[in-house]
């Protein structure tokens, strides 16, 4: 069972009392970064952890199996007639600094040297969901409450699940919009960061389009093979930033997970 909020069989629904589920595994990934100066194709092994906890209408979910997964905390306001309305809290954008993204770095990157640290955000808002038999459409309006960029994010996503023999294929496409505050916090360049090769840059609201595909196959009662692909395209407001090397990013992975 997937717990990612973007998919039709997610477990983020009201439960009777307390319920939980988790799995763990590892996968080999390869991705290209959109930040300048970072190796074109980064690769390595990463842990795949998933934990879904719910108590009545409250839920907490950490999903690292789906490439679009992440931390979600929520409360279900309405869940009936295949419609759902939730209060949602989640991270939208990974932070980075002159060493690059997250913990996959090996020191200061020459092309990013001198930029200020961009922190992870945490956004809270409403999520409207319509479920169908094997598909789901969702719409989210979120606002940053972490103090990182203090802007808004709008996400819309349509996903479909296709079972075939013992395989399960998941595909989805999403469109997101980001406020000017979000765009300029992460991708803008102010006077203190500008150099002869990195001019001052500010922009307006921006957008992105995401496509995701996953395949899972049970190898035994407890072990599952998984593979996934995620591509994100950025609008020119992001692509034109001096710290952006390309207007898209790809990530692929294969791995195994153990379902407890």
String of DSSP letters for 177-198:
EE-HHHHHHHH-B-TTT--SSS
Q: In this structure, is residue 10 part of a structural domain?
A: no
Identify the band that residue 167 occupies on the pLDDT scale cut at 50, 70 and 90: very high
Can you tell me the mean pLDDT for 86-93? 94
234: nearest Cα among 6, 29, 35, 5: 35
Would the pLDDT of 7 be above 80? no
Q: What percent of the chain has pLDDT over 90?
A: 66
Q: In this structure, is residue 61 part of a structural domain?
A: no
Q: In this structure, is residue 5 part of a structural domain?
A: no
Q: In this structure, is residue 71 part of a structural domain?
A: no
Q: In this structure, is residue 183 part of a structural domain?
A: yes
Would the pLDDT of 1 be above 50? no
Q: In this structure, is residue 54 part of a structural domain?
A: no
Instruction: Report d(CA 100, CA 120) in Å as an integer.
Output: 13
Q: What residues make up the domain containing 161?
A: 21-45+92-259
Radius of gyration of the chain (CA): 19
Evaluate whether 94 touches 101 at the Cβ level (below 8 Å).
yes
144: nearest Cα among 188, 102, 179: 179
Q: Which residues of 88-113 are buried (b: 16+ CB within 10 A; e: fewer)?
A: bbbebbeebebbbbeebbeeebebbe
Q: In this structure, is residue 202 part of a structural domain?
A: yes
Identify the band that residue 11 occupies on the pLDDT scale cut at 50, 70 and 90: low
129: nearest Cα among 3, 209, 212, 10: 10
Instruction: Report d(CA 102, CA 88) in Å as an integer.
Output: 24
Q: Please state the pTM of the whole predicted model.
A: 0.90
The full 3-state SS of 114-166, as one line of letters, equals CCCCECCCCEEEEEEEEECCCEEEEEEEEEECCCCCCCEEEEEEEEEEEEECC
Evaluate whether 151 touches 177 at the Cβ level (below 8 Å).
no
Domain count, the chain: 1
Q: Give residue-wise pLDDT tens across range 93-146.
A: 999 999 887 655 568 999 999 999 999 999 999 999 999 888 999 999 999 999
Q: What is the pLDDT of residue 202?
A: 97
CATH number, domain containing residue 235 = 2.40.160
Q: In this structure, is residue 57 part of a structural domain?
A: no
Q: What percent of the chain has pLDDT over 70?
A: 94
Identify the band that residue 212 occupies on the pLDDT scale cut at 50, 70 and 90: very high
End-to-end CA distance of the chain: 12
């Amino acid at each position: 069972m997937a717990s990612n909020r973007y998919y039709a069989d997610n477990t983020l629904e009201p439960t009777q009392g307390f319920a939980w589920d988790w799995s763990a595994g590892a996968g080999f990934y390869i991705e290209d970064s959109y930040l300048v100066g970072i190796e074109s194709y980064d690769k390595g092994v990463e842990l795949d952890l998933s934990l879904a906890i719910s108590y009545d209408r409250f839920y907490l979910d950490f999903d690292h199996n789906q490439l679009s997964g992440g931390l979600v905390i929520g409360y279900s306001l309405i869940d009936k007639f295949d419609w759902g309305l939730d209060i949602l809290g989640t991270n939208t954008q990974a932070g980075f600094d002159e060493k690059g993204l997250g913990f996959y770095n090996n020191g200061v990157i020459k092309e990013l040297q001198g930029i200020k640290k961009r922190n992870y955000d945490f956004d809270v808002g409403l999520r409207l969901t319509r479920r169908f038999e094997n598909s789901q459409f969702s719409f989210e309006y979120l606002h940053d409450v972490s103090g990182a960029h203090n802007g808004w994010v709008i996400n819309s996503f349509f996903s479909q699940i296709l079972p075939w023999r013992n395989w399960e294929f998941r595909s989805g496409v999403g469109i997101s919009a980001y406020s000017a505050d979000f765009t300029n916090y992460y991708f803008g360049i102010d006077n203190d960061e500008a150099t002869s090769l990195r001019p001052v840059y500010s922009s307006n609201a921006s957008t992105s389009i995401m496509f995701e595909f996953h395949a899972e196959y049970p190898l035994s009662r407890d072990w599952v093979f998984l593979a996934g692909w995620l591509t994100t395209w950025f609008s020119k407001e992001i692509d034109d930033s001096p710290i952006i090397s390309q207007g898209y990013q790809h990530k692929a992975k294969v791995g195994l997970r153990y379902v407890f």
